[in-house]
Copies of this chain bind each other. A is one copy, B any other.
Amino acid sequence: MAGLFHRRLRLRTLHAGEERPTPSPTAAPERRPFSRVTPEDMAFFSKIIPGRTITDPDILEASNVDWLKSVRGFSEVLLRPQTTEEVSQILGYCNSRNLAVSPQGGNTGLVGGSVPVYDEIILSTALMNNVLNFDSVSGILSCQAGCVLENLSLYLEDSDYIMPLDLGAKGSCHIGGNVATNAGGLRLLRYGSLRGTVLGLEVVLADGRVLDCLATLRKDNTGYDLKQLFIGSEGTLGVITAVTILCPRKPKAVNVAFLGCESFEQLLQTFQLCRGMLGEILSAFEFLDRECMRLLNTHLKLANPITDCPFYIVIETSGSNPTHDEEKLHQFLEEAMTSSQVIDGTVATEEAKIKALWSLRERVTEALTHDGFTYKYDISLPVERIYQLVTDMREHLGDRAKSVVGYGHVGDGNLHLNITSPTKDPDLLASIEPFVYEWTARFQGSISAEHGLGLKKRNYIYYSKASLAVALMGNIKIMLDPKGILNPYKTLPDDLQ
């Protein structure tokens, strides 16, 4: 990539005003001068959504704190609309009153994007959980934003379809939140990103107007594709109220192999071999390191099904012909074993064993929460580089960290680097950041592959994006939410809030 890198540098020097600003510290942003909720405001909300305006501190607690328990807001009002019209009326009112709003789905985000920072009103999609339509010929599903991902998967099962995305948080996360954060997950390798599978969105804008882009067509080139603006904008540009999404057919055969490698280089060789030999039936290629396995053993009592190895791979195949798929998988495994790329392995074809193998990958996040306070990094890099960051970080931190682990989506060049310590440790954090971001920027990586920026990473955007790009994002925010009431302090850096 040397050519591109030079080119970029050249382009940057063209525009003298565009040097990368020094990132601000992660410190909490200052509260902006939004109005505070008054009894008159509460009366208005109660009229629109009677019985669904929550002020009970115990219920609010769960909505004020993120899943990782790493950030906390101080909201005193949680609203639970059921319809688009209700969301429209709420936002129209909040905008006119200059009341800030924090939209919330399943609150499973990892970057503090889904909870308020100060006293923003929490607007929950929890009661917007109806399927609107499913067309079993085309596989196109339309539903409200608050549908839980796993419920949608179960709903589709009868019709022999699956959701095009799957992730560890599926039991809690909402499809609206998935779209708002452009969630990646475990099936991206096979079914592509939400930018391709989401066919339509209905969005309520900051001023309450309803933007109807709820098409159910695979192709539509009539003007600019506005829905793309809202995919991945983390609730800062509008509140997604409904989604149409293209669902793939349920594969007739699914196989999972859990393999062990001696080195990351062997793991990459296995990946290349696998792409060639499994081709179109490869649906996931995930990895975890020995440290992850130790945490799974220690904290969740999950047993390692194969020999102890430095690296473990989860390979999933999904296809339309069980015999063909097994044959392909068998040939691949034979080749991988013969060439010593893989030193041990096990294969599952029944559902229970498949789930057990997948849980070794899916439950690493959970195991980490038991290990201590976790510093989480979600990095995109050229695939050859992804583990080098873990090794360098381990060396860099020495014994200051409790655990330094790496796992993630090899197929997408996406590393989850996690560092734990017994308690929150500002000194450790100062050793990790900006080291991790500078390392990533050096190889033109992304400092947030799939988690988004939310509150925690907002000020690091300049490590991955040019100043002009960030400035344009600020213009888009002003265009769609001139008062900045939607999910303030998130996504955009402090200088553009």
Segment touching B, from A287-295, A353-361, A448-456: A448-456
Q: Which of B226, B324, B380, B491 contacts A324 (CB 8 A)?
A: B324
Q: In angstroms, how far is the closest chain B Cβ from the Cβ of A473?
A: 5
Interchain CB contact under 8 A, B281 and A448: no
Which of A49-57, A129-137, A257-265 sits within the interface? A129-137
A316 close to chain B: CB less than 8 A? no
A188-B219, A320-B280, A327-B324 known; A135+B210 contact, CB < 8 A: no
CB proximity to B under 8 Å, residues A168-226: 181-182, 184, 188, 192-193, 195-196, 202, 209-226
Q: Give the docked Cα–Cα distance between A445 and B218 (Å).
A: 10
B residues near A138, Cβ cutoff 8 Å: 382-383, 413
How many Å from the CB of A363 to the closest CB on chain B? Answer: 22
A8 touching B214, Cβ below 8 Å: yes
Chain B contacts for A212, CB-based, 8 A? 8, 11-12, 466, 468-469
The residue of chain B having its C-beta at the shortest distance from the C-beta of A130 within the complex is B3
Contact size range, A = 35 or more
Q: Specify which of B219, B224, B414, B476 is in contact with A450 (CB 8 Å cutoff).
A: B219
A277 and B409 CA atoms in complex are apart in Å by 29
Q: Is the CB of A217 within 8 A of B380?
A: yes
Residues on B with C-beta less than 8 A from A272 are: 137
A352 within 8 A of B: no
Q: Closest CB-CB distance, A174 to chain B, in whole Å?
A: 17
Interface stretch, picked from A229-237, A300-308, A335-343, A428-436, is A229-237
Known A-B contacts A229-B228, A276-B320, A412-B219; the reply to A469 vs B132 at CB < 8 A is no
8 Å CB contact of A135 from B1, B222, B469, B480: B1
Q: Given that A15-B210, A453-B223 are contacting pairs, would A446 and B215 also be in contact in the complex, using a CB cutoff of 8 Å?
A: yes
Complex formed: what's the CA distance from A453 to B281 in Å?
37
B453 touches A222 (CB 8 A): yes
Shortest Cβ distance from A382 into B: residue: B138
A443-487 interface bits toward B, Cβ cutoff 8 Å, 1 = contact, 0 = none: 011111111110001000100111011101101100110000000
Chain B residue numbers with a CB within 8 Å of A461 are 222-223
Q: Does A279 contact B (CB under 8 A)?
A: yes
Q: Which of A135, A249, A449, A472 lies at the interface centre, i.e. has the most chain B CB atoms within 10 A of its CB?
A: A472
Given A211-B472, A221-B449, 12 extra CB contacts under 8 A: A184-B219, A195-B196, A217-B413, A217-B445, A219-B380, A219-B412, A222-B447, A223-B469, A224-B237, A226-B469, A280-B281, A324-B324
19 contacts between A and B (CB under 8 A): A1-B135, A11-B210, A15-B209, A188-B218, A195-B228, A211-B469, A211-B472, A212-B469, A215-B446, A217-B444, A217-B445, A218-B414, A219-B449, A220-B448, A224-B491, A249-B279, A252-B279, A280-B319, A479-B479
